[in-house]
Amino acid sequence: MVVAVVKETFEGERRVAVVPASIGALRKAGLETVVEAGAGLAAGYPDAVYAEAGGRIAATRNEAFQQADIVAQVRALGANPGSWADDAPSIRAGTAVIGLMDPLGAPESIADAARYGWTAFALELLPRITRAQSMDVLSSQANLAGYKAALMAANASPKLFPMMMTAAGTITPARVFVLGAGVAGLQAIATARRLGAVVTAYDVRPAVREQVESLGARFAEIELDASDAQDSGGYAKALGPEFYAKQAEMMTGWLAESDAAICTAAVPGQRAPILITKQMVEQMRPGSVIVDLAAERGGNCEVTEPGAVVEHHGVRVIGPLNVPSELPYHASQLYSRNMATFLAHIVRSGAVCADRSDEIIAGTLVLHEGQVVHARLREMLGMAELEAPAKQGDPQ
């Protein structure tokens, strides 16, 4: 079987789905790799390195698609809304397309793609189970985003993050407030702490308190029942109005004491919750900074403008987009390892397995044999429920 690695066409995307170091692992799984010329250049991986690792270089994009049994991408379908349809006529029916697809945010793109007869796996939908951790692209990329967010905050702040004792006097450490203690939030905490800041973190899930405190940060807690704050997959979910009213009251005080805030709170498939209102921003000290990693989903801050830096009452609000792409070398390296592990799991006996009795496959498989097969997407699209699949043997 042949895996095609093509240049990303989403504006500003510098990552590549497979790096040269993963080609050996793919070969062990029975997969050859064909790479579109220049596919890895923006991430720091030239064609010559792919060729040395055993990859074949295709002169054109169409040539790579025509050889492919599997197309590995960072952004496909709904995650590449402006360009995925341009590639569609070049990808043969029966090809497996794998990548980030924003299925919960743009389910209609999955439905549109059904007519091409592909098998498609959306990596955002990987179940949060132990055996899928090594395939979890959301976690690997969020980890880098959290690191970069702390650096953005430090760079934009007019204050030093660490305490310094000098002959001219002592400089007190900056105070950083992190909203959301998922993978990105925890890495932001760790990085801000390494830079010397005093860090406070908040999350609606009380269960993360221990993780926050293990990194040397203080956990800000609201004394209300938040026991239903996460779903069975470990993701945060929306709560009721009473909780959010109390949260807003407490948040105002925490932000007023902070020199920088880093927002990471998101609910899959929905607009990011507004946690920092205009009024809260106005209570912050002039010169304070907000880095809103939720900007791609509208932002956790009311004044965030996705992709822009704005100033409101002396507070600088940064709304970065696609932050992992700003670290494309290592972001691609981690993504590629996730991808190679996922491919090794789904390729069996020389074919892509679509056995929906397998929890990982069932969780990520969105298209098969010309129809949408993911239960949650079918519900979102108003489609009838499919019959439960019988367990399949390995493909022959």
Query: Rounded CA gap, 213 and 46, in Å?
Result: 42
Contact status, residue 276 vs residue 255, Cβ threshold 8 Å:
yes
Active-site residue, 128 included:
yes
Active-site residue, 139 included:
yes
Catalytic residue among 22, 73, 139, 325: 139
Query: Rounded CA gap, 136 and 339, in Å?
Result: 9
Torsion angles phi and psi, residue 74, rounded to 5: -80, -50
Handedness of CA 198, 281, 226, 181 (dihedral sign): negative
Catalytic residue among 133, 279, 349, 392: 133
Active-site residue, 203 included:
no
**Helix, strand, or coil (residue 300):** coil
Kindly list the distances between the CA atom of residue 93 and the CA atoms of 89, 97, 109, 118, 369, in Å, as whole numbers in the listed order: 9, 10, 17, 5, 9
Catalytic residue among 69, 87, 136, 355: 136
Residue type, 140: S
Residue type, 38: G
How many Cβ atoms from other residues are within 10 Å of residue 234's Cβ? 12
> Please, what's the b/e burial string for 194-232 (b: 16 or more CB within 10 A of its CB; e: otherwise)?
ebebbbbbbbbbeebbebbeebebebbeeebebeebbee
Query: Rounded CA gap, 5 and 310, in Å?
Result: 37
Catalytic residue among 235, 283, 329, 348: 235
Active-site residue, 109 included:
no
Nearest to 293 by CA among 136, 137, 76, 144: 144
Residue for token digits 């789904």?
346
Catalytic residue among 56, 128, 348, 376: 128
Contact status, residue 31 vs residue 1, Cβ threshold 8 Å:
yes
Contact status, residue 349 vs residue 77, Cβ threshold 8 Å:
no
Query: Rounded CA gap, 196 and 206, in Å?
Result: 25
Active-site residue, 141 included:
no
Residues assigned a catalytic role: 128, 133, 136, 139, 235
